[in-house]
Amino acid sequence: MANNDAIIFGVNPVLEKLKAAAKDVFELLIADGAERTSLRQIALEAKRHGVNLVPVNRGMLDRLTGGQRHQGVVARIAAYDYFPFGELLQQAAKSSGSSWILVLDGLTDPRNFGALLRTAEAVGVNHVIIPKDRSVEVTPVVVKASAGAVHHLNITKVTNLRRAISELKQHNYWVVGLDSQSRESIYDKIYSDRLVVVLGSEGHGIRPINLRECDFVVSIPMMGKVGSLNVAVAGAVFLYEILRQRKSNGVDLIRT
């Protein structure tokens, strides 16, 4: 592959990529003799967009994906194009309506990242921000774990996460961090229509420098003997509580 090429694999990720940005798909590699209905759907979508289909043996797909579960299909695509932070700020300046942004402070597990992207897209988040360094990026495993949700989100990579959060606050966003040490529960707050949600890394949580930028910090009540939840699960619980509040208040998110 060329240096600016990448791959994604799995039925849902490939199908969602074809629906969201077929122009970025160079070709599809499909396992010889595959007869699954979902693969036929992918083939029809590819034909509709003029994407080349190449039948290959499963061994080639196994090698390309490093033994990951590819479900008989691999797409060769353009490398992921991160959304510029300056453009995000321009959108924030133009819009005064309801929206929220997910900030992930140093996640390192691609499956956690993918699961959070899947939840974020499901609840109506448009933008996700990650740090440039010491953080998982958008990889084929992330795309697979997100079930293709990554193709419907604007993901931004920034050099200085604290500064990015601070600049969003200047555009009338409130910032809430999820931290297991907080005495306030996620159910104790009424959340702003313009909200930045900050989640920390798997092992260390939100870094202190970024925690200080939060307007308030909340935790998820734990009634059992285990002290914390996996970050992907915790993020899902929190995001759906925010969605529940907005639905009960009749507030709609603005898609940008």
For domain 85-248, the CATH architecture is 3-Layer(aba) Sandwich (3.40)
Average pLDDT of the residues in 219-239: 87
Question: Collapsing DSSP states into helix, strand and coil, what is residue 251?
Answer: coil
Highest mean pLDDT among 42-46, 116-120, 249-253: 116-120
pLDDT value at residue 2: 45
Average confidence (pLDDT) over 141-152: 92
Better-predicted residue by pLDDT, 252 or 167: 167
Q: Check whether 166 has a pLDDT greater than 90.
A: yes
Q: Is the pLDDT of residue 226 over 90?
A: no
- What is the length of the chain? 256
Give the best-scoring range by mean pLDDT among 27-31, 101-105, 181-185.
101-105
Return the pLDDT at 3: 44
Residues of the chain with CATH 3.40.1280.10: 85-248
pLDDT at 128 over 90: yes
What whole-number distance in Å separates Cα of residue 131 and Cα of residue 163? 11
The whole-chain average pLDDT of the chain stands at 90
**What's the CA angle centered on 236, arms 198 and 100, to 5 degrees?**
45
What is the pLDDT at residue 136? 94
Write the CATH number of the domain with boundaries 5-78. 3.30.1330.30
**pLDDT computed for residue 35 by the predictor:** 66
Inter-residue long-range contacts of 229-234, CB under 8 Å, 24+ positions, other chains counted: 230/112, 230/202, 231/107, 231/112, 231/116, 231/199, 231/200, 231/201, 231/202, 232/111, 232/112, 232/115, 232/116, 232/119, 234/178, 234/199
Regarding beta strands 25-31 and 52-56, do their DSSP bridges make them parallel or antiparallel, or are they unpaired?
parallel
Q: Which residue has the higher pLDDT, 5 or 17?
A: 17
Distance CA 45, CA 19 (A): 8
- Which has more pLDDT, 53 or 34? 53
| Strand-by-strand arrangement of the 25-31 sheet | 5-9, 73-78, 25-31, 52-56
| Residue 4 clears pLDDT 80, i.e. is over it | no
Domain boundaries for CATH 3.30.1330.30 within the chain: 5-78
